[in-house]
Amino acid sequence: MVAAVIAALALVLPVWAAALIVAGVLFTVAAVLAMIGRTQTAQATPPVPRQAAQSVKQDITTITERAHR
């Protein structure tokens, strides 16, 4: 598909210019997608295992109470 676009542009431009334009467009699209991905990754938060955290808190409370007896 990329070669087809280069070939189509080569009808009105030199081949090197057509390839340079297509490469520039591809790099621009890749940069925009990378920035979108970076933003989404930065906004993501790691999942919190609520049940596990609650269980640990209960364990600590139980151990503390038994230690004071």
Please provide residue 49's backbone torsions phi and psi, each rounded to the nearest 5 degrees: -80, 85
State whether the Cα torsion 56-62-65-69 is positive or negative.
negative
Determine the structural domain holding residue 56 and report its residue range. Answer: 2-67
Q: Any idea which residue has 């431009």 for tokens?
A: 13
Indicate the pTM of the whole model.
Answer: 0.61
**6-65 tens-digit pLDDT:** 999 999 999 999 999 999 999 999 999 999 999 998 888 777 777 788 888 999 999 988
Contact between residue 18 and residue 10 where contact means Cβ atoms under 8 Å apart? yes
Please tell me which residue, 66 or 9, carries the higher pLDDT value: 9
The tally of domains found in the chain comes to 1
